[in-house]
Structure 1
Amino acid sequence: MDFEYTPRTRALQDKLQAFMAEHIYPAEARYDEEQAANTAAGNRWKPLQVIEDLKVKARAAGLWNLFLPESEYGAGLLNQEYAPLAEIMGRVPWSSEVFNCSAPDTGNMETIVRYGTAEHKKQWLEPLLDGKIRSAFAMTEPAVASSDATNIESRIERQGDDYIINGRKWWTSGAGDPRCKIYIFMGKTDPTAPKHSQQSMILVPADTPGVKVLRPLHVMGYDDAPHGHMEVLFENVRVPASNILLGEGRGFEIAQGRLGPGRIHHCMRLIGLAERSLELMCKRASSRVAFGKTIAQQTVTQERIAEARCMIEQARLLTMKAAWMMDVAGNKTAKLEIAMIKVVAPSMACQVIDWAMQVHGGAGMCQDFPLANFYAHARTLRFADGPDEVHRNAIAKWELGRHAA
């Protein structure tokens, strides 16, 4: 394993860091102000102009669609090459959208690239790659424990040349955005088939009759507008049979192909979030005095800073190993490494952000600093794309099997 950055990665890192310094960090206040203005005007879900303006600059700088490996689309970077770039974007949670590298669009685009037909790619992938539309992924359901995806009860039933879709989904990220034009929906086509062949995935245009967004779900007090995580009702939704991905019973196969890259992208970005939190922690600790000396001189703070640095470096190395495994052996072979980093990175980020909040005192809890929002974001990712417990179980089963007689 050689984790030295390639010349292409180093060049893009320099360009991306310069873009962040010139355009993204100075726009953080404008982002908040514009969102507050939209809220005051009663239009909280209106796309933010600051993002749209920055997208134009990102495209002009050649910082667009960096995430798609092994594809004729995008920049053609390997996962290992993309990881340090995603880390930089992760320092500001909303900045990935500026570069058309944000979830769930990245996972949905990868799904259509891998499993969609030429017609699917023309109709949905191309406008997504162009940033003209957005998308959502409808898998989790409120009525069942969806950490076990075999529990999913939504139905996709063939009727002539169409499929009829019924189900209630939640945590459908991206469905709050008025530019969301396409859902990837997971449901059962044959409840009598073997357990992992019951599910299928199908493309559902957002304007199809019977699709109804019921409400936004708040994430520890944040509604994440204009992106949003919505509860959505699908009631007798009719779509052409050609919208099915790969065919009936292939839902789990698609899910593994989609969720692997999505999981590691989250981890890449979390490392950047932790790095920025540690940076804020150090600056605050060096500038505040308590009990006759700076907070940075307090032994407890020094211990936490040192531990944070160790934890970030460990997580970065495991992320790079997982990315390397995906590149050289494929997503399926790398599933253990992906599971491990999906456990490690969110917990690491939560701990580092928590320590940074402690150093900031009361300021760390309010809107004057981004740390409370960072924490809510990182804590959510202990659930997204599979909760910690599911990944820990998979890791433990592999380890037990390795040592079995």
Structure 2
Amino acid sequence: MRASTLLFACALAWSSSAPLGAQAADLTRKSFGQTPSGEAVEAITLTNSHGVSATIITYGATLQSLVAPDRSSKTADIALGFANAAAYATNASYFGASVGRFANRIGKGRFTLDGKTYQLALNNNGVAALHGGVKGFDKVVWKVLDAKSGPTASVTFGYLSPDGEEGYPGALSATATYALDEQNNLTVTYGATTDKPTIVNLTNHALFNLAGEGSADGAMGNVLTIPADGYTPVDGELIPTGATTSVAGTAFDFRKPTAVGARIRDASDPQLVIGRGYDHNYVLDGKSGGALRLAARLADPKSGRVLEILSDQPGIQFYAGNFIDGTTVGKSGKIYRQGDGIALEPQHFPDAPNNPQFASTRLNPGQRYSNTMVFRLRTAKQGQ
């Protein structure tokens, strides 16, 4: 069965199933408006018994909301986002989106595969390809392939990217699964297969603020830990130079818990000047594609909310919301400013196709690409 036929069959089977409300209270489905072109967008909300809920919309397979309790059981939405589909379609912030076919940047928008050079759109300041192109996976409406309630509530989305879309070779059948369990783990799993050799790097571009999205104090007081000894420095266009640099003795050392804003204005580090703050890939220990391990921990000392991110990928991109410029109004009616959200994106290294020393992002027919990340929500006592 062809990938397009399979996606359609799965979607048809889902649409003819019993109403979600009759199955379980921890999974609901409703309209989220429509795109400017008139495509309907739906929202699926997964909820557990501990006050945690995740809302994912079909536009971009996007994490629209992640509600978490604090140490006093008071809940807040900790993910930046918008209130309707039209706002997502007209804003290029990638809040919560599933980004691909290749997340992050590809220098000069070019890569070579089996002797053939492919040119992608230069949608990042005219010098690089970013997050899959002008119309990446974040800007399409995905199909709902499956949804389940129970001890673990989950929803799976599918998107078939045709051969040549945005300049990438091969028809790519991609899936995104969000699953919420009773241990307050939101697991996001991306998968893909192709009919021709291609490159793939999918991730989730959620921006978090553990104090609550739109909070007056912003996210710079969130305390971050990244258990990585090295990172990949970038050139003036935010493309990795190909080197790996030790974090020791630098503003990039988050091996011990440190407030995100503690050193972000340190102009003595040229890497911070280039990125207007942190917008860099960290090199994680452990085998790519191996067992899940801790990639980052983000905490808000005031509320006690803690977010741990587990990953099986070789790197994690840390972006401190440097390019949010105060012109965007979020879902709660608050203006999003620079530093109001923090992205921690498990993925392959930026510009990996042009750096053979980085882990390969090539995908061949018969292989399956996978990226699994766990957003684990916890609370810490006062002073911890």
Same fold (TM over 0.5): no
Sort the TM-score into its range (normalised by shorter chain).
Answer: under 0.3
TM-score (norm 2): 0.23
**Structure with bigger gyration radius:** 1
TM-score (norm 1): 0.22
| More contact order relative to length (CA 8 Å, sep ≥ 6) | 2
Higher-strand-fraction structure: 2
Higher-helix-fraction structure: 1
